[in-house]
Amino acid sequence: MHIKHIPYIQKRKKVNFKKAYFVRILKEYTGVYALKGLGKMESRKIIRFGRSSYVVSVPKEWVKENKLKKGDLIFLETNSDGELILKTREGEEEKEVERVIMDISKRDLWSIKRELNFFYIDDYPLIVLKGNHPNKTKIEELIKSLVGLQIIENSEDLTVIKNILNLGSVKIQDIIRRVDNLIRSIFLELREGLRYKTIPNEKVSSIYATDREINSLYFLLWKVVRKGFKNRKFAKKLDKNSLELNYLHHMILNLEIIGDRLKRTAKLWNKIKLNKKQITNLENLLSLIEQTYRNTMLAHYNEDQKIARKVAEEAKNAKVECEKFAVGTRNERIGEISEQMKETARTLHFISKILAY
């Protein structure tokens, strides 16, 4: 069995922020670097060759870079976007690495969590954790929170994790709808908390649990999208092209951010007591943000640009109302609640702009 060790610190290519935003997102969030050279578009004329064929010349630089010579074979493939891809060798994607090993004995919990998430998103069949760790229980909880991972061997200094999830069975829109419902449930918890001067501890705990489920579904969808970018056959099975996959990653990323913002709002609110006027103002603000959120999701499900443009204006107005919430108070917590709600509105504005254009 082939074993590949991936060190904790990996050198990453610098991102050229002058390039298209779309390319930056692909590199940062999906790890796909196949777009090297994008922007250096050249035109070629199609030449008739015989009665049934056409000829197009290829750039000399590309021939040199791939160490090709006269008489060598190249292979043609059409992707899900209808683009013609030239390949220097025939065959499928690179062979899947069977397992990856991580030594956790001298690592802090945060770095272990970060790298484990990376291995999960990269869809390794087996993940091996070597070494003893004082936070072994928390690491096991983290493993269980990632959909489709199962501990098949566990000892004091060795944990073997198997990926039992068939990504082909995952329904992308089902994940989006589930996350949507979870966010709506957080709004409901917050509204129910308005009956009190401070949101009760049990409400905060419930919201934190919901946010953890959102995080798990976020990583799952990121995993699906990443595989779609890396494997054209899988993308075709999903019936998604690269732009659609990129949009879906944007969508789930921003929904996860909204969940985080609402969770932080609950945490801040739990530490202060609001007077009657402040509760009324917060109730109006929550109602405005929630309605903007619902309209955003309506635009998403219906693929309606008209609704999305309207939501973009609603979100801008909501940001202004969020700023007003903290006016006239010296309480830092209220200012922080205002900021979290404002960032939620900003995220909704961002989603609506993607939907609108």
pLDDT of 240 > 60? The answer is: yes
Which residues have C-beta within 8 Å of that of residue 196, sequence separation ≥ 6?
none
Report the alpha-carbon distance of residue 124 to residue 191 in Å, rounded: 41
User: Is pLDDT of 161 > 50?
Assistant: yes
Residue 4: its pLDDT value, please?
42
pLDDT in tens, 71-111: 888 877 776 566 777 777 654 444 455 789 999 998 999 99
Identify the CATH number of the domain defined by range 168-356.
1.20.58.220
Which run of H or of E encompasses 217? helix 201-230
**What is d(CA 27, CA 34) in angstroms, rounded to the nearest whole number?**
9
The whole-number pLDDT of residue 92 equals: 46
**Under DSSP, is residue 8 helix (H, G, I), strand (E, B) or coil?**
coil
SS3 of 22-66: HHHHHHHHHCCCCCCCCCCCCCCCCEEECCCEEECCCCHHHHHHC
Model confidence at 8: pLDDT above 80: no
Mean pLDDT of 106-129: 93
- For residue 84, the surrounding DSSP H or E stretch is strand 84-87
**Strand-strand pairing, 75-78 and 99-103:** unpaired
Q: Is 97 left (phi over 0), alpha (psi -120 to 50) or beta?
A: beta
**Would you place residue 16 in the very low, low, confident or very high pLDDT band (cuts 50, 70, 90)?**
very low
* 3 state SS of 171: coil
Name the band, by pLDDT with cuts 50, 70 and 90, for residue 273.
confident
Residue with tokens 């993940």: 127
**Is the pLDDT score of 190 beyond 80?**
yes
In percent, the amount of the chain with pLDDT more than 70 equals: 85
Range from 19-28, 105-114, 130-139 carrying the lowest mean pLDDT: 19-28
Minimum mean pLDDT range among 7-16, 162-171, 301-310: 7-16
Report which of 256, 14, 240 is spatially closest to residue 117, judged by C-alpha positions. Answer: 256
Structure confidence at residue 182 (pLDDT) = 97
* pLDDT tens figures, 286-298: 999 999 999 999 9
Q: Is the pLDDT of residue 185 over 60?
A: yes
Cα first-last separation, the chain? 48
Q: Which amino acid is at 243?
A: L
Residue 351: what pLDDT? 94
Give CA separation, 140 vs 12, 134, 154, 163, in Å.
29, 12, 10, 14
Enter the pTM of the model.
0.74
pLDDT digits (tens, 9 = 90+) for 301-333: 999 999 999 999 999 999 999 988 888 778 888
Average pLDDT value over all residues in the chain: 83
What mean pLDDT is predicted for residues 204-231? Answer: 94
The angle formed by the CA atoms of residues 164, 170 and 128, to the nearest 5 degrees, is 25
User: How many Å apart are CA 328 and CA 5, to the nearest integer?
Assistant: 57
Helix, strand, coil % in the chain, rounded to nearest 5: 55, 10, 35
Unique residue bearing structure tokens 């935003």:
21
- Per-residue pLDDT, 40: 53
